Amino acid sequence: MNKWRHHYPLYVLLFLLFVGTTGLYVSYKQHSNTEPLTVASTQVTLSSSDAISIEHGRGLTHECITCHTMDEGGPARLGPNLFGILGAHHAHMKGYAYSKSLANLADRIWTTEALDKWLQSPTAYAPGTTMAFPGFIDANDRADIIAYLKTLK
Ligand code: HEC
């Protein structure tokens, strides 16, 4: 017992040394592991960001499908079918009764920029349009919807 007491400071010192070096070793291991991991996950995020946008855009089109079908050859609902809308002319669907205001723009092409403006505010883009939709304020939401519409071809 006396001997233990006598060596007590030494044991404490040894214990602290042990904890200290283990801690150092663990943090070294963690550090050397994180860097390659971070690089790898960044690459994954970059390569799948398009897919994430498209998926998000597809989700947002639940706002459109009450009025629009999106499949090839799909029928008109309240609005025209939207398959292949990117690159198509305005008022593109044969037999659909467009408003005068959209029919008057029939020689314009639905580019990304045109769709972006349309989806921000249909009534500002074509005053008198019959598309009763307030539009999306968020530019990222619009970009994601357009990314999804682009896949419909
Ligand atoms: C309340 C019904 C309704 C909703 C909801 C709606 N639309 Fe429309 N959409 C219409 C109507 C009606 C037209 C025809 C407008 C006209 O003739 O002025 C139209 C026209 C369009 C056109 C022009 C098509 C062409 O041939 O030129 C695009 C593009 C379009 N809508 C996209 C969308 C998208 C994308 C959404 C969802 C974010 C959406 N719409 C939501 C009713 C709707």
* Region label for 86, one of left (φ > 0), alpha (ψ between -120 and 50) or beta (otherwise): beta
**60-150: in CATH 3.40.50.170:** no
- Report the length, in residues, of the chain: 153
Would the CB of 90 count as within 6 Å of ligand 1?
yes
- pTM: predicted TM-score of the whole model, two decimal places: 0.76
How far does residue 115's CA lie from ligand 1's centre (Å)?
11
- Looking at ligand 1, which residue's alpha carbon is closest to its atom 24? 91
The DSSP code sequence of 42-82 is HHHHHHHHHHHHHHHHHHHGGGTTTT---STTPPPSSS---
How far does residue 137's CA lie from ligand 1's centre (Å)?
16
CA distance linking residue 96 with residue 103, whole number of Å: 10
Token match 């007590």: residue?
8
The CA-atom distances, in angstroms, between 120 and each of 5, 52, 93, 113, 124 are: 80, 21, 22, 11, 8
State the pLDDT at residue 35: 46
Would the CB of 86 count as within 6 Å of ligand 1?
no
State the pLDDT at residue 22: 58
In this structure, the number of other CB atoms found within 10 A of the CB of residue 79 comes to 19
Residue 130 CB burial class (10 angstroms; 0-12, 13-18, ≥19): middle
| CA 145 to ligand 1: nearest atom | 35
CA distance linking residue 80 with residue 82, whole number of Å: 6
Token readout for 83 is 């398959």
State the pLDDT at residue 19: 61
State the pLDDT at residue 36: 47
Report the DSSP beta bridge partners of residue 89.
109
- Candidates 90, 72, 70, 64; CA nearest to 82 is 70
Judge whether 93 and 81 are in contact, CB under 8 Å: yes
Q: What are phi and psi of 89, to 5 degrees?
A: -70, 155
pLDDT < 50 positions in the chain: 32-44, 46
Domain borders along the chain are: 60-150
State the pLDDT at residue 44: 47
